[in-house]
């Protein structure tokens, strides 16, 4: 099983980022990485290329981190509220999901990838809740939001049967049983 050393020019999922020197199978390098210009063969002539790629990668990662921190500062100032329809006793119809949070953030002007919003279970109760938004490997934000009813909450109307009726029904039933 022949292996070869290559230098990645672009990030490859599960293999490495740009500027990484990786050891891969010769066929994978020859048939996939090299023809698509995702990698170059590792030799002494590519040393300058390696340094340039590492610098570009460091600059890109720093820019991503700075951008994520800026978005985090904006999100900390944001407040979300969801008005939902409720039935008797404040029971919600439906639930608030990560897609709903994403739509609300997009409506407020925060452009965040839906995959970065981590709401572990759909919210099915009224009140205050939090959602975790992971913007970068080093930056995440806990965003609080409120779920309120858009119509007044009506208490659940439970009509207990009066004690006299229950005993009359029971006695009538026992009389029928005794006649048979």
Domain range summary for the chain, segments of one domain joined by +: 3-69, 78-149
Q: Read off the pLDDT of residues 98-125 as tens digits, 9 standing for 90 and up.
A: 999 999 999 988 888 999 999 888 999 8
% of the chain at pLDDT higher than 90? 37
Does the domain spanning 3-69 belong to CATH 3.40.5.10?
Answer: yes
Burial level of 119, CB count in 10 A (0-12/13-18/19+)? buried
d(CA 50, CA 30): 20
DSSP label at residue 132? E
CATH superfamily of 78-149: Ribosomal protein L9, C-terminal domain (3.10.430.100)
Q: pLDDT confidence of 130, banded at 50, 70, 90?
A: very high
Q: Full-prediction pTM beyond 0.75?
A: no
């Amino acid at each position: 099983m022949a292996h070869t050393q290559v230098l990645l020019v672009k990030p490859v999922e599960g293999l490495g980022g740009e500027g990484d020197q990786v050891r891969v199978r010769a066929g994978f390098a020859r048939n996939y990485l090299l023809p698509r210009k995702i990698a170059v063969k590792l030799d002494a002539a590519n040393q300058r290329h390696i340094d340039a790629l590492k610098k570009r990668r460091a600059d890109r990662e720093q820019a991503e981190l700075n951008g994520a921190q800026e978005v985090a500062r904006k999100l900390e100032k944001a407040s979300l509220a969801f008005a939902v329809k409720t039935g008797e006793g404040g029971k919600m119809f439906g639930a608030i999901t990560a897609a709903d949070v994403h739509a609300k953030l997009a409506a407020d002007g925060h452009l965040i990838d839906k995959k970065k919003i981590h709401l572990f279970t759909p919210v099915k109760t009224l009140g205050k809740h939090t959602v975790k938004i992971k913007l970068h490997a080093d930056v995440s934000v806990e965003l609080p939001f409120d779920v309120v009813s858009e119509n007044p909450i009506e208490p659940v109307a439970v009509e207990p049967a009066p004690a006299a009726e229950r005993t009359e029904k029971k006695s009538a039933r026992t009389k029928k049983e005794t006649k048979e």
